[in-house]
Structure 1
Amino acid sequence: MEYQIITEFAELESVCTKARESDVVMLDTEFVRIRTYYPKLGLIQLYDGHQLSLIDPLTISDFSPFIALLQDASVLKVLHACGEDLEVFANSFGCMPFPMVDTQIMAAFLGYGLSTGFAALVDEYIDVQLDKSESRADWVARPLTQKQLDYAAADVFYLWPLYQQLSEKVEQKGWWNAALQESELMTQKRGKTPNAERAYLDIKGAWQLSPKQLAALKPLATWRLKEAIRRDLALNFVVKEQDLWTIARFGLTQPKAMEEEGLDPRSIRRHADKIASIVKSAKQLSADEYPDKIERLMDYPGYKQIFKLLKDEVKVASQQTGLATEFLASKKQLNQFLSWIWNKDRDPAQLPDVMQGWRMDVLGRHLEKRMN
């Protein structure tokens, strides 16, 4: 397994130009994401079947040749379990790889569980046991060790023969276009900009709060998200989620009261004044300015029975297609479908996953019939 380390623009331009002559390239990234809001890119792996390159993003400032490769519609980019990689590309380069296919998704169309790991597939298809001990390494620290470099190179070197085998089987089963659709759906989801005004809906236990309490939680959650993005800090390193809920629940405005409720003292020291200001403003609102009470789907009349009917339809589709039930429709996707029926009047502009693409014929129409 030979590879070259790319540290200069001219080298990057050369390998990306050559890669664009290929129909297919393998891509991967190594990154660190512990305290930051955005993943910190440490290394990019690129393999076109002939040349394997490890690109150092810490020594190159102009990535226009790589961006051109990512956006070259004539070159298919292959990745594995690439959800976070897509966030890395979006944040670091302002674009996503297109067209793209994920080998984890391809494996799911062959009956594997959606979370099947790369090492397990390489072991099964290539009969090679990969050493995954470097997966938690610090990829931003320099110099990278020989072991890290070998580990990173292996991730795209073995992705090539794995892709070749999986694509052949997926084509034979008639799922190739579906695999591309599913990969594109993941790209769309990972590319969405977070809506700061709706951030409060993601706070665990928000449904337990009254409209008056939500009037405090909503601006608190909006401020926390914007602060996290501004400082590139993980949300819970700004203020812990549970602390935010407690502040809204009790309308806390005094540092001493926050301390007594067990809030993180570091958050109190840094943000007490801002938090107090937000809560005080919320207390000035009139009742007709409060957000609506959050209604959980599971509290709707007959939810359990209807959800079971939908699950039964998923099981039938699973038996007919050989696809795993959680891949056909997860609990979240079934709830998305029910919310579309009950709360969005089947709005064609907001179609749930099961009513789009390959899922529509396999499952969506059957689910909709159940709801008529």
Structure 2
Amino acid sequence: MNFEMITDTASLQRVCQLASNHQAVMLDTEFVRTRTLYPKLGLVQLYDGEHLSLIDPIEIDDLTPLWDLLSNPSVTKVLHACSEDLEVFQHYSGLMPTPMVDTQVMAAFLGHGLSTGFASLVEEYLDVTLDKGEARTDWCARPLTPRQMEYAAADVFYLYPLYQLLAEKLAETPWQSAMAEECVSICRKRAKQPDPEKAYLDIKNAWQLRPAQLAVLKKLAKWRLKEAQRRDLALNFVVKELNIWKVARYQIRSLRKMEEEGFDRFEMDRHGKRLISMALEADKMSEEHFPEPISRLVDMPGYKQVVKVVKEQVNAVSEELGFVPEFIGSKKQINQAIKWVWVQDKSPEKRPDLLNGWRGELMADKVLPLLEPK
């Protein structure tokens, strides 16, 4: 397994130009994220079947050649379990790999579990046991050790033959276009940025709050997200989620009350007065500007029975096709379908996964009649 460490833009331009002559390239990233909101990119691995490059984004000031390759429509970018890698690319370049294929998705269309790991597939298909000892290493520290570099190189070196084998097997099925559609959908979802105005909806137990309390939570959650983005700090390192919920729920309007409720001293010193000020502002808001109460599907009449019968349909189709049920309809996707009919009035722009695309072709006729009010 030969590889080249790329530490300057000229070398990066050269290897990306070589890669652009191939139909498909293997990609992976190594990053660190402990207290930050965004991942800190430490390494990018690139393999075109001939040249294996370890690209050092810490040493290279201009990664434009790599971003150009990412958006080259004639070169398929192959990744495994791509979700976090896509987040890295989106943050650093504003781009998604196009076109992109995820070997984990390919494996799912061949009957593997939805979250089958790379090492498991390599062992099954290539009879190679990978060393995962460097998985938790600090990829932003320099210099990288030979073992770190070999570990990183292996992730794309073995991805190449794995991709070829999976592609051959997938070609024997009717699922090639569905696989491509699924990968496009993954990229589209990962490209969406969080809406600060809706950040309060992601707070645990927000549904327990009345509209006036939700107005407070909405203001605090919006500020917390923007502060996290501004400082590149993980949300709970700005202010703990539970604490902004407490401010809204228990009408905390003093530092003394914060202390009684167990707020961290650092949070109080840095943000206590600001949180109180924002809560007091929200208190002055007129009722017509309050958020709507949050209704939960689980509290609606007939919800559990509908979930049960929809799952039965999903399980039946999955068994017939040899897929794991979660791949066709996860709990989240089933809930999205119910919400679409019961709450969203079948809004065309919000059509859910279970009733759309390749899943819709399999499931819509079976599931939609089950969701209509009796």
Relative to the length of structure 2, the TM-score reads: 0.98
Give the Å deviation of 1:363.
1.6
Paired position in structure 1 for 2:306? 306
Paired position in structure 2 for 1:135? 135
Paired position in structure 2 for 1:179? 179
How many residue pairs match? The answer is: 372
Rounded to whole Å, the distance in 2 between the matches of 1:28 and 1:58 is: 16
Paired position in structure 2 for 1:79? 79
Paired position in structure 1 for 2:168? 168
Q: Percent identity?
A: 54
Rounded to whole Å, the distance in 1 between the matches of 2:286 and 2:369 is: 43
Aligned AA (1:303): Y
Paired position in structure 1 for 2:324? 324
Give the Å deviation of 1:362.
1.4
* Pairing 1:338–2:338 present: yes
Rounded to whole Å, the distance in 2 between the matches of 1:36 and 1:292 is: 32
Aligned AA (1:254): S
Paired position in structure 2 for 1:110? 110
Paired position in structure 2 for 1:354? 354
Aligned AA (1:105): V
Give the Å deviation of 1:20.
0.4
Paired position in structure 1 for 2:288? 288
Aligned AA (1:362): L
Aligned residue for 1:77, secondary structure, equals strand
Flag as ranges the 4+ runs of structure 1 deviating above 6 A: none
Paired position in structure 1 for 2:221? 221
Mapping of residues 1-372 of structure 1, within 5 Å: 1-372=1-372
Aligned residue for 2:218, secondary structure, equals helix
Aligned residue for 1:186, secondary structure, equals helix
Rounded to whole Å, the distance in 1 between the matches of 2:346 and 2:288 is: 28
Aligned residue for 2:16, secondary structure, equals helix
Question: Contact 1:20 / 1:69 at 8 angstroms: preserved in 2?
Answer: yes
Give the Å deviation of 1:155.
0.1
Rounded to whole Å, the distance in 2 between the matches of 1:129 and 1:173 is: 28
Rounded to whole Å, the distance in 1 between the matches of 2:322 and 2:364 is: 17
Question: Contact 1:210 / 1:293 at 8 angstroms: preserved in 2?
Answer: yes
Question: Contact 1:297 / 1:303 at 8 angstroms: preserved in 2?
Answer: yes
Aligned AA (2:321): T
Give the Å deviation of 1:161.
0.6
Aligned AA (1:369): P
Deviations, residues 27-84 of structure 1 (Å, cap 9, x unaligned): 0000011110001100000000000000000111111111110001110110000101
Aligned residue for 2:2, secondary structure, equals coil
CA RMSD of aligned residues (A): 0.9
Rounded to whole Å, the distance in 2 between the matches of 1:242 and 1:44 is: 36
Deviations, residues 202-235 of structure 1 (Å, cap 9, x unaligned): 0000001111111100000000000000000000
Give the Å deviation of 1:186.
0.9
Give the Å deviation of 1:370.
2.2
Give the Å deviation of 1:167.
0.8
Aligned residue for 2:5, secondary structure, equals strand
Aligned AA (1:239): V
Question: Contact 1:243 / 1:264 at 8 angstroms: preserved in 2?
Answer: no
Runs of 5+ unmatched residues, structure 1: none
Runs of 5+ unmatched residues, structure 2: none
Rounded to whole Å, the distance in 2 between the matches of 1:203 and 1:365 is: 35
Give the Å deviation of 1:371.
2.5
Relative to the length of structure 1, the TM-score reads: 0.99
Aligned residue for 1:22, secondary structure, equals coil
Give the Å deviation of 1:183.
1.1
Aligned residue for 2:135, secondary structure, equals coil
Aligned residue for 1:34, secondary structure, equals coil
Rounded to whole Å, the distance in 1 between the matches of 2:213 and 2:362 is: 43
Rounded to whole Å, the distance in 2 between the matches of 1:35 and 1:341 is: 39
Aligned AA (2:349): A
Give the Å deviation of 1:251.
1.6
Deviations, residues 108-152 of structure 1 (Å, cap 9, x unaligned): 111111111000000000001001111111001111111110000
Rounded to whole Å, the distance in 1 between the matches of 2:222 and 2:335 is: 25
Give the Å deviation of 1:366.
1.6
Deviations, residues 297-328 of structure 1 (Å, cap 9, x unaligned): 11111000011111111011111211111111
Q: 286-295 vs 189-198, which deviates more?
A: 286-295
Question: Contact 1:216 / 1:251 at 8 angstroms: preserved in 2?
Answer: no
Aligned AA (1:205): N
Deviations, residues 218-276 of structure 1 (Å, cap 9, x unaligned): 00000000000000000000011111111111121211110110112211111011101
